[in-house]
Structure 1
Amino acid sequence: MKSKLLIALLAAMLGACASVPLGDESRDEQLKTFPAVSQDKAGLYIYRNESMGASVKMEVDIDGQQVGTTARKTYLYKEVTPGKHTITSHAENTDTLEVDLQPGTLAYVWQEVKMGILFARSKLHLVPEEQGKAGVLESTLVETR
Protein backbone atom coordinates (compact mmCIF):
# COMPACT_ATOMS: atom_id res chain seq x y z
CA MET A 1 0.00 0.00 0.00
CA LYS A 2 2.84 2.40 0.87
CA SER A 3 4.50 1.77 -2.49
CA LYS A 4 1.27 2.62 -4.35
CA LEU A 5 0.98 5.86 -2.36
CA LEU A 6 4.60 6.73 -3.11
CA ILE A 7 4.12 6.03 -6.83
CA ALA A 8 0.97 8.18 -6.90
CA LEU A 9 2.78 11.02 -5.11
CA LEU A 10 5.74 10.86 -7.50
CA ALA A 11 3.42 10.80 -10.53
CA ALA A 12 1.58 13.86 -9.24
CA MET A 13 4.85 15.72 -8.68
CA LEU A 14 6.17 14.85 -12.13
CA GLY A 15 2.92 15.75 -13.85
CA ALA A 16 2.44 19.07 -12.08
CA CYS A 17 3.05 22.23 -14.03
CA ALA A 18 5.29 24.94 -12.70
CA SER A 19 3.88 28.41 -12.93
CA VAL A 20 5.86 31.55 -13.58
CA PRO A 21 4.62 35.14 -13.95
CA LEU A 22 3.51 35.61 -17.54
CA GLY A 23 4.28 38.72 -19.53
CA ASP A 24 1.76 41.13 -21.00
CA GLU A 25 -0.38 39.47 -23.72
CA SER A 26 -0.07 42.38 -26.15
CA ARG A 27 3.73 42.39 -25.69
CA ASP A 28 3.74 38.62 -26.35
CA GLU A 29 1.80 39.16 -29.59
CA GLN A 30 4.13 41.98 -30.65
CA LEU A 31 7.30 39.98 -29.93
CA LYS A 32 5.94 37.08 -32.00
CA THR A 33 6.07 39.35 -35.06
CA PHE A 34 9.87 39.44 -34.49
CA PRO A 35 10.16 43.24 -34.80
CA ALA A 36 13.35 44.95 -35.96
CA VAL A 37 15.82 45.98 -33.28
CA SER A 38 17.64 49.33 -33.28
CA GLN A 39 21.29 49.28 -34.39
CA ASP A 40 22.51 49.98 -30.84
CA LYS A 41 20.82 46.82 -29.48
CA ALA A 42 20.45 43.10 -30.14
CA GLY A 43 17.31 41.12 -29.34
CA LEU A 44 17.62 37.82 -27.51
CA TYR A 45 14.85 35.23 -27.31
CA ILE A 46 15.43 32.39 -24.84
CA TYR A 47 12.74 29.75 -25.18
CA ARG A 48 11.75 26.44 -23.66
CA ASN A 49 9.17 24.79 -25.90
CA GLU A 50 9.09 21.31 -24.40
CA SER A 51 6.65 19.72 -21.98
CA MET A 52 9.30 17.50 -20.39
CA GLY A 53 10.23 18.75 -16.91
CA ALA A 54 6.94 20.64 -16.69
CA SER A 55 7.10 20.86 -12.90
CA VAL A 56 10.57 22.44 -12.92
CA LYS A 57 11.23 26.16 -13.15
CA MET A 58 14.60 27.21 -14.55
CA GLU A 59 16.21 30.54 -13.77
CA VAL A 60 18.04 32.30 -16.59
CA ASP A 61 20.87 34.82 -16.20
CA ILE A 62 22.53 37.05 -18.76
CA ASP A 63 26.02 38.17 -17.75
CA GLY A 64 25.41 37.14 -14.14
CA GLN A 65 22.14 39.07 -13.79
CA GLN A 66 18.93 37.08 -13.39
CA VAL A 67 16.51 38.02 -16.18
CA GLY A 68 13.67 35.61 -15.52
CA THR A 69 12.44 32.10 -14.91
CA THR A 70 11.13 29.71 -17.53
CA ALA A 71 8.61 26.91 -17.25
CA ARG A 72 7.24 24.58 -19.92
CA LYS A 73 6.32 26.29 -23.21
CA THR A 74 7.58 29.76 -22.20
CA TYR A 75 10.15 32.26 -23.44
CA LEU A 76 12.07 35.32 -22.28
CA TYR A 77 12.96 38.31 -24.42
CA LYS A 78 15.68 40.80 -23.60
CA GLU A 79 17.34 43.56 -25.57
CA VAL A 80 21.03 43.82 -24.82
CA THR A 81 24.02 45.71 -26.12
CA PRO A 82 25.70 44.05 -29.12
CA GLY A 83 28.75 41.98 -28.35
CA LYS A 84 29.65 38.97 -26.23
CA HIS A 85 27.28 37.77 -23.54
CA THR A 86 27.09 34.75 -21.25
CA ILE A 87 23.71 33.08 -20.80
CA THR A 88 23.30 30.75 -17.83
CA SER A 89 20.48 28.30 -17.14
CA HIS A 90 19.96 26.95 -13.62
CA ALA A 91 18.27 23.57 -13.20
CA GLU A 92 19.61 20.39 -11.61
CA ASN A 93 22.75 21.50 -13.41
CA THR A 94 24.09 24.88 -14.47
CA ASP A 95 24.70 25.32 -18.18
CA THR A 96 26.25 28.33 -19.88
CA LEU A 97 26.38 29.53 -23.45
CA GLU A 98 28.58 32.28 -24.86
CA VAL A 99 27.00 34.31 -27.66
CA ASP A 100 28.35 37.16 -29.77
CA LEU A 101 25.36 39.27 -30.79
CA GLN A 102 25.51 41.60 -33.77
CA PRO A 103 23.94 45.09 -33.78
CA GLY A 104 20.31 45.24 -34.91
CA THR A 105 19.85 41.46 -34.99
CA LEU A 106 17.70 38.88 -33.23
CA ALA A 107 19.19 35.71 -31.74
CA TYR A 108 17.44 32.58 -30.50
CA VAL A 109 18.56 30.33 -27.66
CA TRP A 110 16.79 27.03 -27.04
CA GLN A 111 16.75 25.94 -23.41
CA GLU A 112 16.59 22.19 -23.97
CA VAL A 113 15.19 20.12 -21.12
CA LYS A 114 17.04 16.91 -20.37
CA MET A 115 16.44 14.06 -17.96
CA GLY A 116 18.25 14.53 -14.66
CA ILE A 117 18.81 12.36 -11.61
CA LEU A 118 16.37 14.14 -9.29
CA PHE A 119 15.08 17.01 -11.43
CA ALA A 120 15.26 18.14 -15.03
CA ARG A 121 18.56 19.36 -16.42
CA SER A 122 19.03 21.92 -19.16
CA LYS A 123 21.29 22.51 -22.13
CA LEU A 124 21.47 25.84 -23.98
CA HIS A 125 21.77 25.97 -27.78
CA LEU A 126 22.09 28.92 -30.15
CA VAL A 127 19.71 27.91 -32.95
CA PRO A 128 19.03 29.15 -36.50
CA GLU A 129 16.36 31.82 -37.00
CA GLU A 130 13.74 29.49 -38.50
CA GLN A 131 14.00 27.00 -35.63
CA GLY A 132 14.05 29.79 -33.04
CA LYS A 133 10.97 31.53 -34.41
CA ALA A 134 9.04 28.24 -34.46
CA GLY A 135 9.98 27.58 -30.82
CA VAL A 136 8.97 31.07 -29.72
CA LEU A 137 5.64 30.87 -31.57
CA GLU A 138 4.64 27.77 -29.59
CA SER A 139 5.58 29.40 -26.27
CA THR A 140 4.27 32.21 -24.04
CA LEU A 141 6.18 35.27 -22.86
CA VAL A 142 7.16 35.39 -19.19
CA GLU A 143 8.05 38.49 -17.21
CA THR A 144 11.66 39.59 -17.35
CA ARG A 145 13.59 41.54 -14.75
Structure 2
Amino acid sequence: MPRNLVLYGLAALAGLVLYGVLRALLGFEIVMLLSLIVLGVVGVIVYRNLQTNRKIADATPAERSTALAFTPEPGKAALYILRNQFVGRAVGVNIEVDGKQITQLKSPRFMRLTLNPGPHRIVAYMGTPDKKKPGEAVLEGNAQPGEVLILKTEIEPQMVGVTVKLTPVELDRIRADFQKTRMVANDVAEV
Protein backbone atom coordinates (compact mmCIF):
# COMPACT_ATOMS: atom_id res chain seq x y z
CA MET A 1 0.00 0.00 0.00
CA PRO A 2 2.68 2.63 0.88
CA ARG A 3 4.51 1.81 -2.36
CA ASN A 4 1.32 2.52 -4.31
CA LEU A 5 0.81 5.85 -2.54
CA VAL A 6 4.32 6.96 -3.50
CA LEU A 7 3.67 5.95 -7.11
CA TYR A 8 0.32 7.77 -7.15
CA GLY A 9 1.96 10.88 -5.71
CA LEU A 10 4.71 10.78 -8.32
CA ALA A 11 2.14 10.26 -11.09
CA ALA A 12 0.11 13.26 -9.86
CA LEU A 13 3.24 15.41 -9.74
CA ALA A 14 4.26 14.30 -13.25
CA GLY A 15 0.73 15.05 -14.47
CA LEU A 16 0.87 18.57 -13.08
CA VAL A 17 4.26 19.20 -14.70
CA LEU A 18 3.02 17.79 -18.03
CA TYR A 19 -0.13 19.93 -17.81
CA GLY A 20 2.00 23.08 -17.26
CA VAL A 21 4.33 22.26 -20.15
CA LEU A 22 1.45 21.49 -22.54
CA ARG A 23 -0.38 24.62 -21.48
CA ALA A 24 2.70 26.73 -22.20
CA LEU A 25 3.24 25.08 -25.61
CA LEU A 26 -0.32 24.64 -26.89
CA GLY A 27 -2.34 27.22 -25.00
CA PHE A 28 -5.08 27.00 -22.39
CA GLU A 29 -8.02 26.15 -24.71
CA ILE A 30 -6.41 23.15 -26.43
CA VAL A 31 -5.08 21.72 -23.16
CA MET A 32 -8.50 22.13 -21.53
CA LEU A 33 -10.11 20.27 -24.46
CA LEU A 34 -7.53 17.46 -24.19
CA SER A 35 -8.11 17.30 -20.42
CA LEU A 36 -11.86 16.90 -20.92
CA ILE A 37 -11.30 14.12 -23.48
CA VAL A 38 -8.96 12.26 -21.10
CA LEU A 39 -11.43 12.69 -18.24
CA GLY A 40 -14.21 11.25 -20.43
CA VAL A 41 -12.08 8.22 -21.38
CA VAL A 42 -11.18 7.55 -17.73
CA GLY A 43 -14.87 7.86 -16.78
CA VAL A 44 -15.88 5.29 -19.40
CA ILE A 45 -13.18 2.87 -18.18
CA VAL A 46 -14.30 3.20 -14.56
CA TYR A 47 -17.96 2.79 -15.54
CA ARG A 48 -17.24 -0.38 -17.55
CA ASN A 49 -15.23 -1.89 -14.68
CA LEU A 50 -18.04 -1.26 -12.21
CA GLN A 51 -20.60 -2.90 -14.53
CA THR A 52 -19.23 -6.35 -13.59
CA ASN A 53 -20.18 -5.90 -9.92
CA ARG A 54 -22.98 -7.98 -8.41
CA LYS A 55 -25.24 -7.08 -5.51
CA ILE A 56 -23.98 -9.23 -2.62
CA ALA A 57 -25.78 -9.27 0.72
CA ASP A 58 -23.92 -9.10 4.00
CA ALA A 59 -23.95 -12.11 6.30
CA THR A 60 -26.09 -11.93 9.42
CA PRO A 61 -24.45 -10.82 12.68
CA ALA A 62 -24.82 -14.37 14.02
CA GLU A 63 -23.03 -15.84 10.97
CA ARG A 64 -20.28 -13.26 11.28
CA SER A 65 -19.68 -13.91 14.99
CA THR A 66 -19.62 -17.68 14.35
CA ALA A 67 -17.13 -17.16 11.51
CA LEU A 68 -14.86 -14.98 13.67
CA ALA A 69 -14.38 -17.94 16.04
CA PHE A 70 -12.25 -19.51 13.24
CA THR A 71 -13.34 -23.06 14.09
CA PRO A 72 -14.40 -25.38 11.26
CA GLU A 73 -17.29 -27.80 11.55
CA PRO A 74 -16.32 -31.32 12.71
CA GLY A 75 -14.73 -33.32 9.87
CA LYS A 76 -14.61 -30.26 7.59
CA ALA A 77 -12.18 -27.46 6.74
CA ALA A 78 -12.88 -23.72 6.65
CA LEU A 79 -11.77 -21.31 3.93
CA TYR A 80 -11.57 -17.57 4.65
CA ILE A 81 -10.77 -15.01 1.96
CA LEU A 82 -10.15 -11.39 2.98
CA ARG A 83 -10.00 -8.31 0.78
CA ASN A 84 -9.08 -5.06 2.54
CA GLN A 85 -6.93 -3.04 0.18
CA PHE A 86 -7.56 0.54 -0.91
CA VAL A 87 -6.65 0.13 -4.58
CA GLY A 88 -9.71 -0.82 -6.65
CA ARG A 89 -11.91 -1.15 -3.61
CA ALA A 90 -15.17 -0.58 -5.53
CA VAL A 91 -14.44 -3.27 -8.14
CA GLY A 92 -15.59 -6.75 -7.18
CA VAL A 93 -13.33 -9.80 -7.26
CA ASN A 94 -15.24 -13.00 -8.00
CA ILE A 95 -14.39 -16.13 -6.02
CA GLU A 96 -14.85 -19.64 -7.44
CA VAL A 97 -14.09 -22.91 -5.70
CA ASP A 98 -14.01 -26.10 -7.79
CA GLY A 99 -15.78 -24.32 -10.65
CA LYS A 100 -18.69 -23.09 -8.50
CA GLN A 101 -19.34 -19.36 -8.17
CA ILE A 102 -19.12 -18.62 -4.42
CA THR A 103 -19.32 -14.83 -3.99
CA GLN A 104 -17.85 -11.48 -5.00
CA LEU A 105 -15.63 -9.44 -2.68
CA LYS A 106 -15.34 -5.68 -2.73
CA SER A 107 -13.03 -4.07 -0.21
CA PRO A 108 -13.14 -4.25 2.85
CA ARG A 109 -14.99 -7.58 3.10
CA PHE A 110 -14.36 -11.24 3.79
CA MET A 111 -16.04 -14.58 3.14
CA ARG A 112 -16.10 -17.95 4.89
CA LEU A 113 -16.78 -21.27 3.19
CA THR A 114 -16.98 -24.81 4.57
CA LEU A 115 -14.78 -27.20 2.58
CA ASN A 116 -15.04 -30.97 2.41
CA PRO A 117 -11.65 -32.67 2.92
CA GLY A 118 -9.74 -33.26 -0.29
CA PRO A 119 -8.32 -31.33 -3.24
CA HIS A 120 -9.80 -27.94 -4.14
CA ARG A 121 -9.13 -25.31 -6.79
CA ILE A 122 -9.70 -21.70 -5.72
CA VAL A 123 -9.91 -19.01 -8.41
CA ALA A 124 -10.18 -15.23 -7.98
CA TYR A 125 -10.87 -13.06 -11.01
CA MET A 126 -12.49 -9.83 -12.19
CA GLY A 127 -15.23 -9.68 -14.80
CA THR A 128 -18.06 -12.15 -15.28
CA PRO A 129 -17.79 -15.97 -15.36
CA ASP A 130 -18.22 -16.03 -19.15
CA LYS A 131 -15.93 -13.01 -19.76
CA LYS A 132 -13.11 -13.24 -17.23
CA LYS A 133 -10.62 -10.43 -17.51
CA PRO A 134 -6.97 -11.46 -17.83
CA GLY A 135 -5.02 -11.68 -14.60
CA GLU A 136 -6.94 -14.27 -12.57
CA ALA A 137 -5.35 -15.94 -9.55
CA VAL A 138 -5.46 -19.72 -9.07
CA LEU A 139 -4.56 -21.61 -5.91
CA GLU A 140 -4.79 -25.38 -5.62
CA GLY A 141 -4.52 -27.29 -2.39
CA ASN A 142 -5.66 -30.21 -0.30
CA ALA A 143 -8.02 -29.39 2.58
CA GLN A 144 -7.56 -31.43 5.76
CA PRO A 145 -10.32 -31.95 8.37
CA GLY A 146 -10.08 -29.24 11.06
CA GLU A 147 -7.88 -26.99 8.90
CA VAL A 148 -8.50 -23.24 8.67
CA LEU A 149 -7.19 -21.82 5.39
CA ILE A 150 -6.79 -18.03 5.32
CA LEU A 151 -6.22 -16.27 2.00
CA LYS A 152 -5.88 -12.62 1.14
CA THR A 153 -6.90 -11.42 -2.31
CA GLU A 154 -5.46 -8.25 -3.80
CA ILE A 155 -5.57 -6.37 -7.06
CA GLU A 156 -2.20 -5.29 -8.41
CA PRO A 157 -2.28 -2.56 -11.07
CA GLN A 158 -0.08 -3.26 -14.07
CA MET A 159 0.92 -1.01 -16.95
CA VAL A 160 -2.11 -2.31 -18.87
CA GLY A 161 -4.84 -3.99 -16.79
CA VAL A 162 -4.54 -5.57 -13.39
CA THR A 163 -3.47 -8.84 -11.79
CA VAL A 164 -5.46 -10.55 -9.05
CA LYS A 165 -3.43 -12.31 -6.33
CA LEU A 166 -4.39 -14.93 -3.75
CA THR A 167 -1.89 -15.14 -0.91
CA PRO A 168 -1.99 -17.58 2.04
CA VAL A 169 -1.49 -15.76 5.35
CA GLU A 170 -1.19 -16.74 9.00
CA LEU A 171 -4.30 -16.18 11.10
CA ASP A 172 -2.39 -14.50 13.93
CA ARG A 173 -0.97 -11.89 11.54
CA ILE A 174 -4.34 -10.93 10.09
CA ARG A 175 -6.93 -11.64 12.80
CA ALA A 176 -7.40 -7.93 13.65
CA ASP A 177 -8.19 -7.15 9.98
CA PHE A 178 -11.15 -9.53 10.08
CA GLN A 179 -12.61 -7.63 13.04
CA LYS A 180 -12.69 -4.41 10.97
CA THR A 181 -14.34 -5.86 7.86
CA ARG A 182 -17.83 -6.96 6.88
CA MET A 183 -18.64 -10.56 6.01
CA VAL A 184 -20.56 -11.33 2.81
CA ALA A 185 -23.12 -14.07 2.29
CA ASN A 186 -22.09 -16.84 -0.11
CA ASP A 187 -24.06 -18.23 -3.03
CA VAL A 188 -23.02 -21.73 -1.85
CA ALA A 189 -22.62 -22.77 1.80
CA GLU A 190 -20.31 -25.75 1.33
CA VAL A 191 -18.05 -27.22 -1.37
Task: Pick the structure with more helix per residue.
Answer: 2
| Contact 2:150–2:170, Cα closer than 8 Å, also in 1 | yes
Deviations 1:105-137 (A, max 9, x none): 211011122114555431111111213423322
Deviations 1:66-88 (A, max 9, x none): 10001011111100102221100
**What is the rounded CA distance, in whole Å, between the counterparts of 2:40 and 2:180 in structure 1?**
30
| Contact 1:39–1:103, Cα closer than 8 Å, also in 2 | yes
Q: 1:23 aligned to 2:55?
A: no
| Contact 1:41–1:104, Cα closer than 8 Å, also in 2 | yes
TM alignment of 1:44-63, pairs within 5 A = 44-63=79-98
Structure 1 match to 2:120: 85
**What is the rounded CA distance, in whole Å, between the counterparts of 1:112 and 1:131 in structure 2?**
16
Structure 1 match to 2:10: none
Q: Structure 1: any 5+ residue segments left out of the alignment?
A: none
| Contact 2:81–2:153, Cα closer than 8 Å, also in 1 | yes
Structure 1 match to 2:103: 68
Which residue type is aligned with residue 166 of structure 2? L
Distance change in 2, residues 1:81/1:37 (3 Å) = same
C-alpha displacement of 1:9: 7.1
Q: How many pairs does the alignment contain?
A: 142
Q: 1:2 aligned to 2:33?
A: yes
| Contact 1:54–1:72, Cα closer than 8 Å, also in 2 | yes
Q: Structure 2: any 5+ residue segments left out of the alignment?
A: 1-31, 127-132
**What is the rounded CA distance, in whole Å, between the counterparts of 1:142 and 1:33 in structure 2?**
16
Moved more, 124-133 or 50-59: 124-133
**What is the rounded CA distance, in whole Å, between the counterparts of 1:82 and 1:132 in structure 2?**
24
Secondary structure at 2:64 match in 1 = helix
Secondary structure at 1:122 match in 2 = strand
Secondary structure at 2:173 match in 1 = helix
C-alpha displacement of 1:11: 7.1
Q: Identity, % of aligned pairs? A: 21
Secondary structure at 1:143 match in 2 = coil
Structure 2 match to 1:106: 148
The two structures have a TM-score, normalised by structure 1, of 0.82
Distance change in 2, residues 1:24/1:38 (3 Å) = closer
Structure 1 match to 2:7: none
Distance change in 2, residues 1:9/1:98 (3 Å) = same
The structure number with the bigger radius of gyration is 2
Deviations 1:16-36 (A, max 9, x none): 8x66432223322332232x2
Distance change in 2, residues 1:21/1:119 (3 Å) = farther
Moved more, 54-63 or 132-141: 132-141
Task: Pick the structure with more strand per residue.
Answer: 1
Q: RMSD value over aligned CA atoms?
A: 2.5
